Copies of this chain bind each other. A is one copy, B any other.
């Protein structure tokens, strides 16, 4: 910057002055990202006109959110989730051709190494909850079945917790399983009817949600990652339309196309053949994979 262009910081030029200092950033992407952040940060402060005390409240909130994070808890991801930022980043990175199944957030509870089962297996290892048969077909956008597609599914148990949240209570890999489609592209497994559950509320994000008059519940859902070489990996959920929180997911994960009917089935014979209790639930969910971006 030449001496002639120089301007001291004022209330009016604040963002421009700060951005002029990052001309020598180590790469163009970093410079671009920081310029956008600085511009919106200054615009927000100018709209809000915080008092010194309000500014310090924000400092304390950000500090407390950092202090809540450890190897087992990521309060900043939770903050990103409840402000819709995680879903927005997911949406931006998951633009798909019409007809392919929509993505939603991965969430913090996926783990690698779940057991691989034969189709029709029961992934519920703790015996709790109402049995649910989940089945469908994996196809390409032209409707052709995809053999050799990998399904990685997981869900919370009937008490509303994932196995990794209750290591000493639930069996390892409870309600997790990996399946591979055959020539017909079909899949099926037994799980349990999911229930809504609360995100963690004992930290600064929970306190913020309370002040904002928001509940902390996620509507009942089942997680999927569906992948096959040559296709975009699909990370998604299936949602129950009758859940009381279906219109107010605390992390904004619901998409209309991911809501499917959960049918209650009274069929002694099928239940007995599968070794589960009657009645049970039946959910059909087909996945359409988009071709991989080239």
Contact = CB atoms under 8 A, between A and B. Distances in A.
Contacts of A87: 9, 14
A252 B37 contact: no
Interface of A: 6, 8-11, 14-15, 17-18, 21-26, 30-34, 36-52, 54-55, 59, 62-67, 69, 74, 76-77, 80, 83-93, 95, 211-214, 247-248, 252-256
A84 B26 contact: no
A52 B66 CA distance: 20
A89 B55 contact: yes
A15 B76 CA distance: 19
A9 B22 CA distance: 34
Given A69-B67, A74-B59, A213-B26, A52 B6 contact: no
29 contacts: A6-B247, A8-B256, A9-B84, A9-B91, A11-B91, A14-B84, A14-B252, A22-B213, A24-B212, A25-B212, A26-B211, A36-B44, A37-B83, A38-B83, A39-B44, A40-B40, A42-B85, A42-B88, A45-B88, A45-B92, A49-B92, A50-B92, A52-B89, A52-B90, A59-B74, A59-B76, A59-B77, A64-B66, A65-B66
B80 A59 contact: yes
B252 A17 contact: yes
Contacts of A15: 84
A194 B74 CA distance: 43
A47 B66 CA distance: 26
A92 B252 contact: no
Contact of A18 (B47, B64, B252): B252
A52 B43 CA distance: 25
